[in-house]
Structure 1
Amino acid sequence: MLKTLPLNKRGIPASRIALGCMGLGGGWDREPITLENIKQGHEAVDAALSIGINMFDHADIYTRGKAEKVFGQIFKERPRLREEIILQSKCGIKLMEPGDVSNVFDFSGEHILNSVDGILSRLGTEYIDILLLHRPDPLMDPEEIGAALRQLKAAGKVRHFGVSNMSAAQIKLLQASCDDPFIVNQLDMSLAKIAWLDTVVSVNRAPWKDNTFPEGTLEHCRMENIQVQAWGPLAQGIFSGRPLDDQPENVVNTAAMVKSLAEEKSTTPEAIVLSWLMTHPAAIQPVIGTVNPQRIAACGDADQLELSRKEWYDLYVSSRGVQLP
């Protein structure tokens, strides 16, 4: 049986799955949004609503702000929609411009405040439900961040705050200077990205190869009622129909196992892949990144499925490619 979402425990009526909106708005260029982009947005929203999704995840950088502009146009055409959904966005990344050597992470108070004003303008709304700090900034000053978040809350621009891609230690550092609790941590988690599990089973053993997932992060989120959100939960389709010609044996075998389970349970491979994440007692909320209506619809059974412990472990070990100790 699925656990209650931490967001729900806080009185936020979020759906068990969220829709990630990075695919809206066309390319990552400076071309204006088109009528076709807006039509695509409507179709993605309708597909999400049809399977019970009421939470939508943005970031100020997604298609260089065009994803939010598409949503802003949708709100203009469907004004009642805003109060029917939960809207989340992120800030803290400055995309590389011509002449730059890299993207830059910026959690300065000025950048956070300016970013939120831009988000609200593009979305055409007076507030967002949740603002996430997108990626850890090595130069972040917790007190400066805390002051910026207090200002946003007082102005009614943001109702709740969270983080993305952060460890337990980083969350604790920021929380010490922030009045409001961080209620979300969005992490790269899927049946293909399993370092968050290998960290658990590798305690008191030689470190699992290439495991960079910070130990204790999932545990901290569970203890503090922080919603763990999984970005990339469909693993770019490698277990649900993408060609596997260039994939290693463990991926091919796992895709076959997913397909077999889907047939056995009369559902889709997408639903199996998401259900595997959602079976975990941390009450993980997948943020699906597709805006294809058919693929969104294929996720609809995920919160109705129940995987047995054996099925869950069989998928994990198959993806891992190495038996457990």
Structure 2
Amino acid sequence: MADPTPEDPEAPFQVELTEYLAHLGVERGLSEHTLAAYRRDLRRYARFLARRGRTGFGEVTEEDVASYVEAVRTGADGGHPLSPTSTSRAVVAVRGWHRFATLEGHTDTDPAAAVRPPGTTKRLPKAIAVEEVDKLLAGASMAEGVLGLRDRALVEVLYGTGARISEAVGLDVDDVDIGAQHPSLRLFGKGRKERIVPVGRFAVEALEAYLVRSRPVLAQSGRGNSAVFLNQRGNPLSRQSAWAVLQAAAERGGVSGHISPHTLRHSYATHLLAGGADVRVVQELLGHASVTTTQIYTMVTPDTLREVYAASHPRARG
């Protein structure tokens, strides 16, 4: 990054920002996607502080941080207003930066420690029915030639393991152990945290068919890449291309509504819990750091409450 100049609105905090982003990328192992979001949020924060006349972390007050949260929520700083979810992400970024600055000795106080994001309404994750998953898998298999085997294997892995899209496209051949008595995949989640997840028979069969009959054909166009999922040029399949695979499979399979990799992850968790799985087991399978994150899948909708009441209470039936 170039040396800060007087005309640069981020200049007072640019050195500290570069240092913190390097820490996130190297020591915390954040993905490029997450790192880009942090960089965007913190540059906006640095500009906000500079416009308020702050020239260092020691001058920043709790009121400054709270005002920034309100500014990004409403767009009062001249930027785009952020959704509640994005505002929460921005608060996490700011709190992390101030905590880091305190630990590194840039300041003796942490003005962001008590600042919290605005309250957000919890939404139930979107899951699709098992019948819709079957349609999606059928649609994936309709792709032409070797791509049909690849697309089927990708969808089976996403639904059969609950993997994040970054974890699925990040799979290496050495991470796949489907010949053992208990087939499994080694996934690397947020912060490169490793976990081993079991793989069911359908995903195993789809992976075997792809690895034996399709991947070698795709690999001929590349340069000996070790990624499991390859594109037509023999290079690792990107996140964007994996999204496109799902969209095309949904269209061919006649699955309505918005289908994303997270839709399959949500469906995986929802169907496990509906089948009687313990929430802490699902937490481990999904790679959630806290069971609180997983517990959103146990929320009951008002419609479900009414249906259960109408079907079960003796005074509800007329």
Normalising by the residue count of structure 2, what TM-score does the alignment of the two structures yield? 0.25
Which has more strand, going by share of residues?
1
Which has more helix, going by share of residues?
2
